[in-house]
Amino acid sequence: MFTRENLAQAKRVVVKVGTSTLTHSTGKLNLWRIEKLVRELADLANQGKEMILVTSGAVGAGMDFLGLKERPKTIPEKQAAAAVGQGRLMHTYEKFFSEHGQVVAQVLLTREDSVKRTRYTNCRNTLLTLLKMGVIPIINENDAVAIDELKIGDNDTLSAMVASIVDADVLIILSDIEGVYTDNPQSNPEATLIEEISDITPEIEALAGGAGTLRGTGGMYTKMQAGKIAVNSGVSMVIASGLRDGVLRDVLAGTNVGTIFLSKENRLQVRKRWLAFGARTQGVITVDKGCEKAVLSGGSSVLSAGITAVEGHFEHGNTISVMTIEGREIARGIANYSGEEARKIMGAHTNELVKILGSKPYDEVIHRDNMVLLV
């Protein structure tokens, strides 16, 4: 597990940079800041670290070229701006990185690349091969073709998915804020920076606000969700200000910069990682206190007797979420029964399933071998 004390030893690092860091308030690319970011990344690569950059800015770069004054609001307008801006943004990165002797590769991802098991594996193999060859992958969501159902949603989540896929040591999210505060620092001058978060509790999640800026899409809420993915995949995460000079060097030196989310000690197996964060959830089951305790304390399977509610229209083999009565997601797993069947048997004991359904192919609604805990 990487903490402030040993961050200098991190070898594989994913860096995510947001639109608000890469562009001016006019929407045009901030070339000065991009060049400084590239210089830091190149220098870290020269130290022997494996660097992956997850970048926003394609839509912003397209806005500049198209003469748009405001960020597009509809999916087709965003896709058009991204299609224009993607090449321009990549050309800028290639130019700056080449000046420092670094080879880069563009990788465009959509939600489908994490939802489909084979594409998830292919993505992992490609990224690991690029790193082995000394190439710095530059990753963005494929905004030009993604639609609502396929979009990963924002580059905070995308960066956490990438960090999980490649077994990164640390994920650094650069934003226009210093980190997680006890309150909104824009409205409360007494708000203080939280330097370390060891567990993303409901109270910590409640500190997340809405979207940060008009040009960006990810507020602190999406960064919290990214943190969940990262720490449960064995990846420590740091949120820090991309406006700070030398921020990457300072973070990896263990300086008290930003907020660090400490990872869980055990990395999830690749299959369970995909199950938890790659596969799209198709439904939700709510469990009672007894089932919640059994699942969390002993890794027990989810039985029908402990289910109090079922949401969604899922089929056998789909991934579903396990929620507490309070609405906290504690696990995800592969359903042995459809949503319709689960609604019929919820609250029933295992020996009653044959009477209710006419057969009992499984004792468990979710077997513990096909389930991953998220707390």
Query: Please, what are the domains in the chain?
Result: 4-271 (3.40.1160.10), 281-373 (2.30.130.10)
Entry pTM: 0.77
**Stretch among 116-125, 199-208, 303-312, 350-359 having the lowest mean pLDDT:** 116-125
3-state SS class at 301:
coil
Does residue 229 carry a pLDDT above 70?
yes
pLDDT score recorded for residue 212: 44
Average pLDDT over every residue of 215-234: 76
* Sign, CA torsion 164/166/167/170: negative
The Cα–Cα gap between 322 and 375 comes to 11
CA angle 252, 256, 259 (to 5 degrees): 90
User: By mean pLDDT, which of 137-141, 193-197, 218-222, 335-339 is the weakest?
Assistant: 218-222
- Determine the average pLDDT of the residues in 333-346: 94
Rounded Cα–Cα distance for residues 196 and 61 (Å): 34
pLDDT in tens, 177-209: 889 998 877 788 888 999 999 988 888 888 875
What pLDDT shows up at residue 138?
97
- Predicted pLDDT at 129: 94
For 258-272, the pLDDT digits (tens) are 999 998 766 666 566
- As a whole number of angstroms, the distance between CA 207 and CA 226 comes to 15
